[in-house]
Amino acid sequence: MGDLTKDFSRKEFRCRCGRKDCDAAPIDMKLVTALQALRDLIGVPIIINSAVRCVRHNRRVGGVRNSRHLEGIAADIYCPKLSPKEFAKFAAMIPEFDKGGIGLYDWGIHVDVRGRRARWDYRGR
Each residue's pLDDT tens digit, 65-114? 999 999 999 999 999 999 999 999 999 999 999 999 999 999 999 999 99
Phi-psi region of 79 (alpha: psi -120 to 50; beta: other; left: phi over 0): beta
Question: Which CATH code, of 3.40.50.1820, 3.30.1380.10, 3.20.20.70, 3.30.300.30, is assigned to 10-121?
Answer: 3.30.1380.10
DSSP count for the chain of H helices, then E strands = 5, 5
Residue 105 φ/ψ, nearest 5 degrees? -135, 165
113: closest CA among 44, 33, 59? Answer: 33
pTM of the entire structure? Answer: 0.95
Q: Note the pLDDT tens digit of each residue in 26-35.
A: 999 999 999 9
pLDDT at 1 over 80: no
DSSP state at residue 83: -
